[in-house]
Amino acid sequence: MAEPEGSPKLLDVLETVADLVAVVDGTGVVADVRVPGGSLAGSALKLAPGLALESAVAPDSVAKVRKLLDPSDDRRAREINLLAADGTMVPVRLRPMPVDGVQVLVGRDLSGVEAGQQRLAREAIDAARAVEDARREAARYRHLFQAAAGALLVVDLASRKVIEANAAAGRLLGSDPAGSGFLRLFADAGEAERVLAGAGPAVLFLSGEAGGVRVAVEPVREGRRVLGLVMIDPAATVSTNGTGAPANTAAGPADRAFDALPVPVLILDPGLKVLVANPAFLDLAQAVDGSALVGRPLGELMGRGPVDAQVLAANLREHGAIRGLATTVRTRHGGHIAVEASLARIAGTDSFVLAARELPAAPSDSPRGGMGGLAANGTSVVELIGRMPLKDIVRDSADVIEQLCIEAALDLTGGNRANAADLLGLSRQSLYTKLHRLGLFAPDSDGADGAGDDGP
């Protein structure tokens, strides 16, 4: 096409600043199109010389094109959807420039802007959904918080102020404590401060009330603020003489000493059911408060099954005491913590006291964890008698022996599994199966199975 008169370099100049330059004659037919090597270069637009501009745009843009080419229009830029060869639409902003009886359209690609707008719209929708989800979760939390049978407080651990209290807490304390100081709720502010500081659950005596309750605190982080979810167990109420001290003042120091013991301790009734658990045992079992343990059989809290409890009961009846029994404590979340337990009858009563000592964790390279603590050298088999059924001990012992033999064969053959299989009298497939089962399988290294071994 010839350049418009008086502007021989106009299109060249516009090419440097625009994504699209098109020249349209007075009949609406495209006379020239220039697409610099920018974002529109690979779009394969239908826009081409000799084609009516209206046929190169989407139907919803035809009216805009007519206004764009109308000499009497206000000459403002309009957003047009150009058609690509594959039928997709490419959004552009076209600004008309009348030059020597033709319209020079200067275009800017809006694909990136549209993608950004769509992304912002999606993010806005996601944010609205997140707000709605948070609103529903807050409503659910508030319902559960207020409907809980136990007394619950939310305390700001920095200011020691009660932020929120449920209905059960209001009934127990006589009024809604929200907004008041947590320490003022109890006769001994020092003990209340110790509980908030993370010393563990304790029995605290309510201010002006002839009773005490067991109090436990679970820290909860809310942004930069740390709150304490305080659980007050009314089932652990202890009567007092009305002055805030225990009615049996001689037992007060003993109770405090029991709570302060760093060793996990249980007091058991004659049927080996839990009467009292000290805070150290609650921490070991990851229990929220003592009410979760009181009344439960010892077999549910310790050991890997009812066999442990039967062994304990039999030994206590025969000897009156047990020392250094290797067993486990079951945590609230289903885990097992290895401990050494000692039990003895409390003099002058039918009750028993149990003290536990946590054992160090087994090293990570010890034999398979499913072997019930059986050591690789077999020296702990005797400790398992009475704690596990005989068939389980035999099965785990066989696994250990099998693993030791395979490891020895691999050591003797320098890790060559084909030779190790021959040494053990196994097929290679059988050896691989055992390696997988025992957790000893590793991908072959170069030549690990022998360079010239073509056996099946």
Q: What pLDDT is stored for residue 256 in this prediction? A: 75
How far is the C-alpha of 418 from the C-alpha of 449, rounded, in Å? 5
**Are residue 86 and residue 155 in the same domain, yes or no?**
no
Domain boundary among 361, 383, 403: 361
Would you state the structure tokens that stand for residue 88, as one six-digit string? 């997709």
Domain assignment of residue 105, yes or no: yes
Domain boundary among 361, 387, 417: 361
**Are residue 303 and residue 318 in the same domain, yes or no?**
yes
Domain assignment of residue 135, yes or no: no
Give the confidence band of 392 by pLDDT, cuts at 50, 70, 90. low
Q: What pLDDT is stored for residue 39 in this prediction? A: 65
SS3 177: coil
**Are residue 232 and residue 275 in the same domain, yes or no?**
no
Position 436 pLDDT exceeds 70: yes
Domain assignment of residue 446, yes or no: no
The domain total for the chain is: 4
The 10s digit of each residue's pLDDT in 223-277 is 778 899 999 886 554 444 433 334 333 345 767 778 888 889 999 888 888 888 8
Position 365 pLDDT exceeds 70: no
Work out the percent of the chain whose per-residue pLDDT is above 90: 6
Position 446 pLDDT exceeds 50: no
Task: State the Rg of the chain over Cα.
Answer: 40
Domain assignment of residue 453, yes or no: no
The 10s digit of each residue's pLDDT in 153-210 is 999 998 999 999 998 888 888 888 888 899 988 888 888 898 888 888 888 888 876 5
How far is the C-alpha of 354 from the C-alpha of 273, rounded, in Å? 11
**Are residue 252 and residue 270 in the same domain, yes or no?**
no
Greatest Cα-to-Cα distance within the chain, rounded to the nearest angstrom: 120
**Are residue 407 and residue 351 in the same domain, yes or no?**
no
Domain assignment of residue 455, yes or no: no
Average pLDDT estimate for 397-402: 78
Q: Within a 13 Å sphere around the CA of 100, how many CA atoms are in the beta-carbon half?
A: 9
The 10s digit of each residue's pLDDT in 114-155 is 777 778 888 888 888 888 888 888 888 888 888 888 889 999
Single pTM value for the model: 0.34
Domain boundary among 212, 229, 259: 259
Closest of 418, 419, 386, 424 to residue 406, by C-alpha: 424
**Of the listed ranges 163-167, 286-290, 372-376, 427-431, the one predicted with least confidence:** 372-376
What values do phi and psi take at 46, rounded to 5?
-75, -20
Domain assignment of residue 1, yes or no: no
Give, to the nearest 10 degrees, the angle between helix 428-438 and helix 417-424. 100
Domain assignment of residue 77, yes or no: yes
**Are residue 321 and residue 248 in the same domain, yes or no?**
no
456 vs 441, which has greater pLDDT? 441
Domain assignment of residue 277, yes or no: yes
The 10s digit of each residue's pLDDT in 287-299 is 766 777 888 888 8
Average pLDDT estimate for 416-436: 86
Would you state the structure tokens that stand for residue 418, as one six-digit string? 């084909």
**Are residue 175 and residue 188 in the same domain, yes or no?**
yes
Would you state the structure tokens that stand for residue 368, as one six-digit string? 């398979």
- CATH number, domain containing residue 249: 3.30.450.20
Q: Which domain range does residue 163 map to?
A: 148-259
**Are residue 238 and residue 162 in the same domain, yes or no?**
yes
Tokens 């127990």 identify what position?
172
